[in-house]
Structure 1
Amino acid sequence: MTISDNLKMVRSRLPDHVELVAVSKTKSNQEIMQAYDAGQRVFGENKVQELVRKQEELPNDIEWHMIGHLQRNKVKYLAPFVTLIHGVDSLKLLREIDKQGKKYQRVIPCLLQMHIAMESSKFGLNREELDEILELDGLEHVKLVGLMGMATFTPDMEQVRKEFAFLSSLFEYCKTRRPGFSILSMGMSGDYEIAIEQGSNMVRIGSAIFGARNYP
């Protein structure tokens, strides 16, 4: 199956209201262009250096999403062009994005990453940190538009379902506090159908489109 075939198959399983982020990390420009030529315009990367390079080399109508853990000292490289930052996991990071947004005269859309998995290695905010950010005023160059989360890496799909249900309930809560919340980004190649069942409207899919990762 080609990348184009895989993309068509994944799209056929997504309801119309669900946006597909094709996770292109470690993939070559040629592989990304196969998805581009099949109509895909939204791509997700998790390494700043790789994302910047691809943004410079590939068509300028691509929407680039930063989906990985973002360090504050790297925000300046993404600030001129990034379409959406998925992984805002601290107030300090949010303030830095605001600062860089001001520098480039942009309002940068962001998702707050919640820690919903049993694994301590995953990044994300807790409920107290979430509430602190929701109460913030005065950040004029960031726009909080939703939540993101990653479920535990486990074959126990009931555990995954519970974690997604929890994130979905947090999303509903946030919408009562912030009218601009509209995106719930959860679900990857192995669990996106459960994520959609639990309310996700943005999925991040890599291997089901591009095949296994190309790690050096």
Structure 2
Amino acid sequence: MTIAENIRMLREKIAVAAVKSGRKPEDITLVAASKMNPAERVREAILGGVDAVGENRVQEMLEKHGLGAYEGKPLHFIGHLQSNKVRQVVGVCDLIESVDSETLVAEIGKRASALGLTQDILLEVNIGREENKSGVLRENLDKLLEYAAQTPGIRVRGLMAIPPITGNNGKKPNYFDEMYKLYVDITAKKYDNISMHFLSMGMSDSYIDAIEAGANMVRIGSAIFGARHY
């Protein structure tokens, strides 16, 4: 299967899941998670019709960006972002999906303001309360939202999560349902400078469950590019 064929098959499955959840196929943003794939394969994915490209590592992103790998599609940063790497990401990425602390919000806002732009971000939630994962805990999310709402240079566009793998063939419907409820609750609160446009959750092994639960953005790697070889 070529990258284009994989994307075509993904689109068909995404369409079914979208309709099942009462939405249109075009309501779902397909992000190609291109970690460890070279620039030419990223360009294949763009030609194949993905909506955006996501990168996990700053250095890899910068190298491929210099090669023009992302031309024509938005670039998302989807990995854990360290404060000392913020300067290299703000203004390069259209969306930073993995913001989980006041410190990171402040650094992003400071850098964006210095560049005279507004950086779109998602707040990452550690919905499974996993000690080895980044993300703000649910009980601390309101405080982080309030802080972000008052920080110049940023605009919160939604939430992101990487739920833990549970049983049932890797399906995570309970965590996805919890994230959707959180997303709806925050939308109803109508914070200033907070627009809940995106709920980013679901990867190659779980995107159908995520979409059926309410996700409108999925991050797909191996189902597009094939298995990674570390």
Q: TM-score range by the shorter chain?
A: over 0.9
List gaps (5 residues or longer) in structure 2. Answer: 15-24
- Counterpart secondary structure, 2:219: strand
**Of 74, 90, 110, which residue of structure 2 is paired with 1:79?**
90
Q: CA deviation at 1:71?
A: 0.3
The aligned residue for residue 175 of structure 1 is 187
Q: Which amino acid aligns with 2:214?
A: G
- Counterpart secondary structure, 2:131: coil
Distance 1:163 1:203 in 2: 15
Distance 2:170 2:221 in 1: 23
Q: Deviations over 1:7-45 (max 9, x none)?
A: 111111222211000010100112112112223351001
Q: Which amino acid aligns with 2:75?
A: W
> Would you say 1:36 and 2:46 are equivalent positions?
yes
Q: Which amino acid aligns with 2:176?
A: F
> Would you say 1:187 and 2:206 are equivalent positions?
no
Instruction: Report matched runs for 1:32-71 at 5 Å.
Output: 32-58=42-68, 59-71=70-82
List gaps (5 residues or longer) in structure 1. Answer: none
Normalising by structure 1, report the TM-score: 0.93
Cα gap change, 1:204/1:158 in structure 2, threshold over 3 Å: closer, same or farther?
closer
The aligned residue for residue 200 of structure 1 is 215
Q: Deviations over 1:79-103 (max 9, x none)?
A: 1221101111111101100001011
The aligned residue for residue 11 of structure 1 is 11
Instruction: Report matched runs for 1:46-195 at 5 Å.
Output: 46-58=56-68, 59-117=70-128, 119-136=130-147, 137-156=149-168, 160-177=172-189, 178=191, 180-195=195-210
Distance 1:106 1:48 in 2: 20
Quote the sequence identity (%).
Answer: 38
Normalising by structure 2, report the TM-score: 0.88
- Counterpart secondary structure, 1:180: strand
- Counterpart secondary structure, 2:227: coil
Q: Which runs of 4+ in 1 moved over 3 A?
A: none
Distance 1:194 1:159 in 2: 7
Distance 1:189 1:38 in 2: 17
RMSD: 1.6
> Would you say 1:26 and 2:36 are equivalent positions?
yes
Q: Which amino acid aligns with 2:135?
A: G
Distance 1:33 1:61 in 2: 9
Note if contact 2:126-2:161 (Cα within 8 Å) is conserved in structure 1.
yes
Distance 1:71 1:127 in 2: 21
Distance 1:105 1:96 in 2: 14
